[in-house]
Amino acid sequence: DAGVIQSPRHEVTEMGQEVTLRCKPISGHNSLFWYRQTMMRGLELLIYFNNNVPIDDSGMPEDRFSAKMPNASFSTLKIQPSEPRDSAVYFCASSSEISSSGANVLTFGAGSRLTVL
């Protein structure tokens, strides 16, 4: 298995531009998570999907952020318009059913490092 695949790995953009981050989860995993990581705030959950349905988006900073999961193998996180304070590493992670017992380990993608100038 290729693991969780994210693109782009690095993105540098100017304030006000639209940014789209992409994620392909591990096949068979039905939960998908978008995290943001910064030195100041650590790892923050933005949103998660279960069976392609958004379950909890309370971590999404504001209306400039949106996420979609049109099918089981693809998700996007969009920032429009972007601001310098959005600069961070954005991780996508997937796991099997989160509400069942057992470890249900999160497998993270390599991350997308976003810099907004």
Partner 1 sequence: GQNIDQPTEMTATEGAIVQINCTYQTSGFNGLFWYQQHAGEAPTFLSYNVLDGLEEKGRFSSFLSRSKGYSYLLLKELQMKDSASYLCAVRDSNYQLIWGAGTKLIIKP
Q: Which is nearer to partner 1, 39 or 63 (CB)?
A: 39
Task: Give the SS3 label for residue 84.
Answer: helix
Q: Which of 79, 109, 114, 116 binds partner 1 (CB under 8 A)?
A: 109
Q: Give yes or no for residue 103 binding partner 1 (CB under 8 A).
A: yes
Q: Taking CA 89 as the corner, what is the angle to CA 25 and CA 95, rounded to the nearest 5 degrees?
A: 25
Among 45, 47, 63, 81, binds partner 1 (CB under 8 A): 45
CA proximity to 30, closest of 100, 90, 110: 100
The CB density around residue 24, as the number of other CB atoms within 10 Å, is 19
> What is the contact mask toward partner 1 in residues 46 to 85, using x (rule: CB under 8 A)?
----------x-----------------------------
